[in-house]
Amino acid sequence: MFEENINQGSNAKGGSDLTQVKNEKINFQTAEDTVLLHTTLKKRFLGGYKHKLTGKIYHHAIIQTLPSPWKYEFVLRYNRDTQTIELRDKAQQTPKDASTQVQVRNIYLKTTADKILTPSDNYIYADHIKKEYSKKIIILQKVIRGWLAFKELLRRKEKALLQILWDNEEIRNKFKDDIEWLKDLEKRKSNPKSEDDFRLIFSDLQKWWNCESKGISEVRSGADFKAAMWLLINAEVLKIEEINQRKNLFQLEKCFQSREKFLKIAAEPKMWKTKKNAVQVETSTTLRARYVHELYQTLSMKYISPRDRVEALTNLKEFLKPYHSKLTDNLEQLASREIDLHLRGVKSSHLEGLQTRICNLFWQFSKKPTFNPEMQLLTKIKKNGAPPLHIMCCAACKCFYILPADSTDEVLGKSIIQNYFTKCKKCINIENEAWIRKDLELYKRILKLLISEEEKMPTKSSILYTLQPNDIGHLVDKIWKHQSCISGSKNDLELELTRFDMDKDWMPWNCLLVTRQETVALSKIPNSEIKYDKKFKENVFQKHIEARRYFSTIPRFLPYLTNFSCTKENTVSRR
């Protein structure tokens, strides 16, 4: 860097063109005076800065040098050489005239200077060149086609490896799903939370009974057999009592949850919609419903101190004072009785029946619109012009049940006499728990796998979403005899339902019960005429006719039934 210091005194005196500039070299600590010429050219600024205190300007070193000279000479020229370039002549005529004339009778051509050329051994004909070209082209084609074939081989090999990996991954995933399904069943059996879970427990009980009775019948006979069976029946009774106790507790908890949910919905504030958002509004009826909900929660609490229980009962009595009816009078009497028993020091475990009775009566009180006006909005009101109802009489319990006209139950498809004397669902469940003890989890799993596989197909039928586990159970057990139609395997974890004709949608009359490996093998052969034998087809068609006859009696499957060719049925029956 250089320091430029302009001598203002010299400019003031004579205005000379010379300026003394003092350059200080910091590295060598020397000073010398140099003389520079002022130039009229304005040099570009390439960086630098100005000292704020001293006012000195520090520039880049290039400002001390002159600009580069102009490379063109500014000399005027007025001759032609400035506009043209130097030219050279070149002869284009051949040394000897040549023509394509042929010597004839009227024309003489001199041939003394002509030369006759004879072909040497290295002369190559056009046919030979063409032949060589064709050979080289064939060689190139061989190489290119070999390279393309090798590339296609690598592609197919990679595709086959990926397919094998994908198949192995699918097998592992299905194996994991099977293990998780079995673990889930065991978890549900240990902690049942639904009717299906208790059905699982009863099915296990039936399996245990079959195994024990079979062992007794094989080993013992006579009086020993009767004694062993008597002990087995007593053990079964004890297990049934234990299961029923757990089921009663589950039903009580379920009933409490449904009541709790019902009262919670009634206690919610009103929602008024505005342009921006919704506004919650509390009314006198919603506040009353909320108080009823909180009071019911307090009365239904199990683990509560006697002091808090007495306080809740006194609040209940104060709440019931304005009302005078048989229900409120009973509630007040029961509340007074429980308060008296608590004051006498009776244990809470001895008052469970009384507390349950108070909760049930208060629930009847809280769901009546006269005492809880919000319940009027949640209760069902019969409308005029409603569709006619179907009445069903249970053949077991002799109770009457009302079925709506749009019900999809199987009983509506039967005659009036059969419909009138049909068992209700409650009796069917009791009958199942008593001796049938059928489990539907396997059929639910088969239906779930069927839906997941059909969703991958380009076309699928909506009949899959109307099927129920009972329908799959009849299809698997009654029609296909709970075994694969190809290998005869009875492994529950391997059985699946697939299409018989891959070009048509899945239907109960277009299906096969096969194992998982057989499903994969059948999906790789789309043509049904090649992969099925004639005798096998006849057996399958017979199964399809049975399935069609069964599902034609169920109303919800009637839209899916199409015209069935009687000729095929007749030919199969004749054969």
pLDDT in tens, 364-403: 999 888 888 888 887 765 555 555 556 777 778 888 777 6
Calpha distance 361→338 (Å, rounded): 14
Rg (alpha carbons) of the chain, rounded to whole number = 52
Calpha distance 216→270 (Å, rounded): 67
pLDDT of residue 131: 93
Calpha distance 228→223 (Å, rounded): 9
Q: Which of 471, 466, 463, 410 is nearest to 446 (CA)?
A: 471
Element (H, E) at 212: helix 195-219
Calpha distance 321→349 (Å, rounded): 29
* Amino acid (one-letter) located at 112: T
Q: Which residues contact 490 (CB under 8 A, 6 or more apart)?
A: 482, 483, 484
Do 456 and 200 touch, CB atoms closer than 8 A?
Answer: no
118 SS3 class: coil
pLDDT of residue 418: 45
Residue 510: Cβ within 10 Å count: 19
pLDDT of residue 14: 40
Q: Which residues contact 470 (CB under 8 A, 6 or more apart)?
A: 440, 443
Residue with tokens 């350059």, as numbered in its chain: 23
pLDDT tens string 184-232: 999 999 989 888 899 899 999 999 999 999 999 988 888 899 999 999 9
How many whole angstroms from its chain centre is CA 114?
Answer: 94
- Written as tens digits, the pLDDT of the chain (575 aa) is 434 443 334 343 344 343 333 343 333 344 444 444 445 555 555 566 677 788 777 665 555 556 667 666 666 666 655 555 666 776 666 555 555 667 778 877 777 877 877 777 777 888 989 999 999 999 999 999 999 999 999 999 999 999 999 989 988 998 999 999 999 999 999 989 888 899 899 999 999 999 999 999 988 888 899 999 999 999 999 999 999 999 998 988 888 888 999 899 888 888 888 877 888 888 888 999 999 999 999 998 888 888 999 999 999 999 998 888 899 999 999 999 999 999 998 988 888 889 999 999 999 999 888 888 888 887 765 555 555 556 777 778 888 777 655 554 444 444 344 444 577 778 888 888 887 888 888 999 999 999 988 888 888 788 888 898 889 999 999 999 999 988 888 888 889 999 888 888 899 998 999 998 888 888 887 766 667 888 888 999 999 999 999 988 887 888 888 644 443 444 444 44
Paired strand residues for 403: 390
pTM of the model: 0.64
pLDDT of residue 569: 47
23 SS3 class: strand
Do 475 and 482 touch, CB atoms closer than 8 A?
Answer: no
Where does 53-175 show beta strands of DSSP type E?
Answer: 57-59
> Which is it for strands 400-403 and 390-393: parallel, antiparallel or unpaired?
antiparallel
pLDDT of residue 169: 93
Paired strand residues for 496: 514
Calpha distance 268→290 (Å, rounded): 8
Angle, in degrees to the nearest 10, between helices 326-343 and 306-320: 150
Residue 337: Cβ within 10 Å count: 14
Calpha distance 261→267 (Å, rounded): 10
pLDDT of residue 147: 95
* Amino acid (one-letter) located at 470: N
Rounded to the nearest 5°, which phi and psi values hold at 221? -160, 160
Query: Please, is 472 exposed, middle or buried when counting C-beta atoms within 10 Å of its C-beta (0-12, 13-18, 19+)?
Result: buried
* Amino acid (one-letter) located at 128: H
548: which 2 tokens?
């069609």
Residue 192: Cβ within 10 Å count: 19
Per-residue HEC secondary structure of 309-361 comes to HHHHHHHHHHHHCCCCCHHHHHHHHHHHHHHHHHHCCCCHHHHHHHHHHHHHH
Do 378 and 265 touch, CB atoms closer than 8 A?
Answer: yes
Rounded to the nearest 5°, which phi and psi values hold at 480? -95, 5
